[in-house]
Amino acid sequence: MNGIELTPEHDVDRVAGLAASAEDAGFDTVFATCHYNNRDPFAALTRIADATASVRLGPGVANPFETHPVRLAGQVATLDELSGGRAVFGVGPGDPSTLRNLGVGDERGLRPVLEAFEAARDLWAGERIDHEGSFEASSAGLNFEPPQGASIPVYVGGEGPQMCRMAGKCADGLLFNGSHPDDLAWARERVDEGLDQRDEAPSDGDDGADRFDLAAFASVSVGEDAEAAREAARPPVAFITAGAAPPVLDRHGIDADAAERIGEHISSGEFGEAFERVTPAMLDAFAVAGDPETVTERFAAILDHADSVVVGSPLGPDLDRAIELAGQALVDASGRDD
């Protein structure tokens, strides 16, 4: 997968136009971010489906706390139907800084994510479900089956050890929220532990081989002006730092108290203060930022451990140019013979 994440902080027509540009630049999958304080991701994905011809598309990532999992399964099924079978289901525990605003920050965890996509697969296959666990359902079902049915790919979004193992054991892919080769090497080990526990092989790839996709869901900022690209990466790095697990912070020598303060500013809507607290070490750990050559080198290092890359926000100081540059950097990195 050569994926890209687009954020509906822009109006949906703008997001759809960016998606069309991404398809032209060689990206084959488009994810729309899911934060309550941006525009509705499924509305954006509907426009993206109309504006594109072949890319896969889906939420990146939805969570089962803001929306009931049965309803979420229906939304993804609808997207699959209107896009002609191109849907991908990105699902995860969500961003703690924003979910805290909705009073569900403490409900995040592995079990709700697993139960949500397992239920979705049953619903997409035409089954009715009864469930008591992280959510409740009684004889719930969909009145239609999506084109891909239960084979809609499920990508788990996360970075904790248990989430990585669960993805390897139960899902089709992992959207690992990381941009550094050391983190991806660690994630690969956790995924392999989960793959060893699978009851059956992952879904077949296009070449017929059994395939699990470990995707680096990387915050990327690329531009001809390297310093401007790094400055543009501050906002997403602030969010990533605030949500990073203690072992991840330790791995990169980042102070946990500093990360917590950034999260407090985000929860209070004090975004400027949060972004100013982002340090060079945080940028290096949690973003791929710089000029095209630097970004190409970082992509190549990531692909030593990951199967694919999703180019995440902010993309760069100039969105349209950044999509073109990032697409070429991925091609160049994938073609390097190390």
Check which CATH number belongs to the domain holding 142 and give it.
Answer: 3.20.20.30
Domain membership flag for residue 289:
no
Pairing label, strands 89-91, 308-315 = unpaired
Domain membership flag for residue 96:
yes
Q: 75-106: per-residue pLDDT in tens?
A: 999 999 999 999 999 999 877 667 777 887 66
Domain membership flag for residue 178:
yes
Instruction: Find how far residue 214's CA is from the centre of its chain.
Output: 11
Domain membership flag for residue 222:
no
Structural domain of 324: 2-216+308-334
Instruction: Find how far residue 44's CA is from the centre of its chain.
Output: 16
Domain membership flag for residue 160:
yes
Domain membership flag for residue 38:
yes
What is the number of structural domains in the chain? 1
pTM over the 0.85 mark: yes
Q: What is the mean pLDDT of the chain?
A: 93
pLDDT higher than 50, residue 114: yes
Rounded mean pLDDT, 65-81? 96
Domain membership flag for residue 288:
no
Q: What percent of the chain has pLDDT over 70?
A: 95
E-assigned strand segments in the chain = 2-6, 29-32, 56-59, 89-91, 129-132, 136-140, 154-158, 173-176, 213-222, 288-290, 308-315
Domain membership flag for residue 316:
yes
